[in-house]
A and B are shown apart, each in its own frame.
Chain A
Amino acid sequence: MTNSWKKYILWFAQEHLDFRVAEFNSIIKLFGLKHRKLNDNTLVRSLNIIYKFLISFDKQKPFWIVEFANEESAIKFASRSVSLRSIYELWGHSNNLKSFHEKLQDSIKTKENLMDPYIQKSFKIVVETYNKHISQKEKVEKIETLEYLPFQGEVDLKTPQTEWCYIEFYGLDPTAVPSEPDDILFGRLVANGQRDLIKELSLKKRKFIGNTSMDAQLSLLMVNQALVNNGDLVLDPFVGTGSLLVSAAKFGGYVLGADIDFMMLHGRSRPSRITQKVRERDERVRANLEQYGCGDRYIDVIISDFSNPLWRQGVEFDAIITDPPYGIRESTEKVESKTTSKQNTRSKDMPHYPSTSHYSLQQLYVDLLQFSAHHLKVGGRLVCWLPYHRDDYTSEMIPQHSSLVLVGNSEQPLSGLTSRRLLTYEKRDINAPDSAQLSYQLSNSYDFRDRYFNNAPESRTERRMRKAEQREIGRIEALKRGKVIIDNKEAKNNLNKSRFQ
């Protein structure tokens, strides 16, 4: 790899902001690219720094400027990032239009030899105005301000050999759009991120889904957090319909899953799609992987109880990714020894379905961390979700284990009151995980399910009544304004009826 330091524009989708930095760091680590965050203007070069931040960046903003050692690094980064829309080689950047044009003209002059390869190529220029809508005519006018560009090739809007992008950034607040852009950027398209995968793996077209299948984007983010790469062995101990395994296998992982739910793994549970009455015969985790061409990397799913692990001592996984049940849409269950006063009427030839007991979330996380400390390779990662009530959140709530280091913690709000955090742990290099002490801070009285159903600040009934009242007030006001009201609920019901006929 030859080093030829260049600045690149990273354009991120403005979605799941809290996951952006974590994903960035994970991908850099996955490809073994060392990095250093730098203050505004101090640039330190050393052989092992592959990229560096040039601007003290604002992680909320969709445009970052990052310096990579070579184009290959930039392309590698784009080959995995799900948050990234596109990556451009930076040619001009400023915070006002006048100096932008001066700078761009200057850099075309001084970097003539770098521009040479593109001068004769067919090209197109895309205009992006972030947080401001402009007409096609205005876009063309903006392109005309760039008339000094030395391009001599044909304009080709369908299949250009090089694509250039002119970006004006008008801040993040749609209610206060400035008249002049905050930032103006110009660059050459190097590669697109993996946003297309979100559509390709969409749950809408997935063969086998359940009530808690993870949406494609988040499951891809999880796999990036877990550093899953070609030939890795990946386990999901609460596999369900295998939505996390799909993403893991897509990036080259060989996948194993376990779940306590017999009916789910055999595809006999009630279908989750409203249009579907019975599950198809071949609805399995395996069918999902085959659907996306990763059938070769399916190993197995096993019906087992996580609270009582059965994996042989010494089995090591490269990554453990999981979304444990929260006790709301899927129940938390385990098999537990019970004494019953009833007489045992079981006979040998009669099938017996073990009765399950409540598996508290705290206990589940204790087991999950303990299990991961034993069965992850050193440097391997555990990636899992923790649900909680926003009012209750303190950093002490995050479960800790002395052989696991927390390297990522990103929040996804679920509703006005609840959130979940994606936790990423990395296994430390220590010789005796047995001697490790588990420290778990979540107070024993904390029960997400109980808090959700019984102890919320506003009970579900109160909330429902309040919403109904609000709707009624709104309806009366709308009638006063003379609006004809269409009964949406009725329309939806009719639609559902017609679907089933």
Chain B
Amino acid sequence: MRLSTYNFLTSKAIKGVKVGFPLKLTIAKQDVVESEFNPTFIERLLPRLDWSGIRLAAEVAGLNDDIPAELPANVAENEELLKKLHHLLLEIDVLEGQLECPETGRVFPITDGIPNMLLNEDEV
């Protein structure tokens, strides 16, 4: 699972959960997959992401120093930051780990890079 996907997911599907974001991410095993840097894509992706979620992801991945506390206004001109965001959001691949619902503590496992967000019959 890429950390950009982490920014999209919530646990609001659970009965009684309103927001379910951000999930608590734990990484047991990760891989770094190098991929082509496409600044336009990152620029277009940023407005769809939640900045606090990006900060949390950076914290878990140990890249805290790379990501500023606030989204700078002129991010499009800041190629260095775009590259760092590209690395954080698209190159880090969580192979094993888990996502935890902030409201109920329900754990969603990530196995072999694929998060399993399925709920049981009694949770929907």
A interface residues with partner B (beta carbon < 8 Å): 230-231, 233, 254, 256, 260, 262, 265-266, 286, 295-296, 299-305, 308-312, 314-316, 335-338, 352, 354-355
Q: Hey, which chain A residues are within 8 Å of B48, CB to CB?
A: 233, 314-316
Shortest C-beta distance, B14 to chain A (Å), equals: 9
Contact between chains at B8 and A312 (CB < 8 Å) = yes
From B21, B114, B121, A303 is in contact (CB under 8 Å) with B114
Known: A233-B48, A312-B7, A315-B8. A354 touches B120 (CB 8 A): yes
Contacts of B10 in A (CB 8 A): 310-312
Shortest Cβ gap from A320 to chain B (Å): 14
CB distance from B18 to the nearest CB of A (A): 11
Q: Among A262, A300, A308, A309, point to the contact of B1 (Cβ < 8 A).
A: A300
Nearest B residue to A314, CB-CB: B48
Q: Which of A262, A302, A311, A355 has the most CB of B within 10 A?
A: A302
In the assembled complex, B63 has its CB within 8 A of some CB on chain A: no
Instruction: Determine, out of B35-43, B65-73, B77-85, the stretch whose residues face the partner at the interface.
Output: B35-43
B117 partner, pick from A231, A310, A336, A338, beta carbons under 8 A: A310
Q: How long is the Cα–Cα vector from A314 to B21 in the complex, in angstroms? A: 12
Q: Tell me if A335 and B119 are in contact (CB < 8 A).
A: yes
Residues of B within 8 A of A299 (CB): 2, 4-5, 90
Q: In the complex, are the beta carbons of A310 and B40 less than 8 A apart?
A: no
Inter-chain contact B119/A308, CB cutoff 8 Å: yes
Q: Closest residue to A254 on the B side, CB-wise? A: B41
- Give chain A nearest CB distance to B32 CB in angstroms: 14
Would A303 and B115 count as touching, CB distance under 8 A?
yes
Instruction: Report chain A residues within 8 Å CB of B40.
Output: 230-231
Which of B2, B50, B116, B120 is A300 in contact with, Cβ under 8 Å?
B2
26 inter-chain pairs at a CB distance below 8 angstroms, sorted by A residue, are A230-B40, A231-B41, A233-B44, A233-B45, A254-B41, A262-B118, A296-B36, A300-B113, A300-B115, A301-B114, A302-B5, A302-B117, A304-B118, A305-B118, A308-B13, A310-B9, A310-B13, A311-B8, A312-B7, A312-B9, A312-B10, A312-B21, A335-B118, A336-B121, A336-B124, A337-B15
Q: Are A303 and B118 in contact (CB under 8 A)?
A: yes
B residues less than 8 Å from A262 (CB atoms): 116, 118
B interface, how many residues as a size bin?
A: 35 or more
**Cβ-defined partner of A310 (8 Å) among B2, B11, B15, B112:** B11
Docked CA distance A301–B114 (Å)? 6
State the Cβ distance, B10 to closest chain A Cβ, in Å: 5
Instruction: Tell me how many residue pairs across A and B have CB atoms closer than 8 Å.
Output: 95
Closest CB-CB distance, A126 to chain B, in whole Å? 39
- Are A311 and B121 closer than 8 Å at their CB atoms? no
Cβ–Cβ < 8 Å partners of A256 in chain B:
5, 8
Given A254-B41, A266-B112, A303-B116, 19 more A-B residue pairs with CB atoms under 8 Å apart are A233-B45, A266-B111, A299-B90, A300-B1, A300-B114, A302-B117, A303-B115, A303-B117, A303-B118, A304-B118, A305-B118, A305-B119, A309-B13, A310-B9, A311-B8, A311-B10, A335-B124, A336-B121, A337-B124
Tell me the complex Cα distance, A311–B13, Å. 9
Whether a CB of chain A sits under 8 angstroms from the CB of B29 is no
User: Which A residues touch B120, using CB under 8 A?
Assistant: 335, 352, 354
Contacts of A312 in B (CB 8 A): 7-10, 21, 50
Q: Which residues of A contact B36 (CB under 8 A)?
A: 296
Q: Tell me which residues across on chain B come within 8 A of A338, comparing CB atoms.
A: 121
- Other-chain contact of B121, A265, A286, A335 (Cβ < 8 Å): A335
- Residue ID in chain B nearest A296 by CB atoms: B35
Chain A residue nearest to B116 in the complex (CB): A303
> How far, in Å, is A359 (CB) from chain B's closest CB?
13
Nearest CB of B to A122, in Å: 38
* Chain B residues closer than 8 Å to A336, beta-carbon distance: 121, 124
Q: Which chain B residues lie closer than 8 Å to A295 at the CB level?
A: 35
- Indicate if the CB atoms of A231 and B38 lie closer than 8 Å: yes
A-B pairs with the 5 shortest C-beta distances? Answer: A296-B35, A231-B41, A304-B117, A300-B5, A308-B13
Residues on A with C-beta less than 8 A from B12 are 310
**Chain A residues within an 8 Å CB radius of B44:** 231, 233
Bound Cα distance from A80 to B90, whole angstroms: 27
User: CB distance A302 to B9 under 8 Å?
Assistant: yes
User: Which residues of A lie under 8 Å from residue B5 when comparing CB positions?
Assistant: 256, 299-300, 302
Give the CA-CA distance A38 to B98 in the complex, in Å: 59
Q: Which residues of B contact A309 (CB under 8 A)?
A: 13
Question: Digit string of B5-33 for contact with A (CB within 8 Å is 1, else 0)?
Answer: 10111111101000011000000000000
On chain A, the residues within 8 Å of B2 by CB distance are 299-300
Which of chain B's residues has its CB closest to A337's CB? B124
CA distance A337 to B12 in the complex (A): 15
Closest to A354 in B: B120
How many Å lie between the Cα of A337 and that of B120 in the bound state?
A: 8
Complex formed: what's the CA distance from A41 to B2 in Å? 56
A316 to B7, CA, bound (A): 12
Closest chain-B Cβ to A213's Cβ sits at a distance in Å of 19
Query: Which residues of A lie under 8 Å from residue B21 when comparing CB positions?
Result: 312
Asked whether A354 lies within 8 Å of B121 as measured between CB atoms, the reply is yes
- A299, B92: Cα distance in complex, Å: 11
Cα of A355 to Cα of B118 in the assembled complex, Å = 11
Residues from chain A with Cβ under 8 Å of B20 in the complex: 310
A301 to B38, CA, bound (A): 21
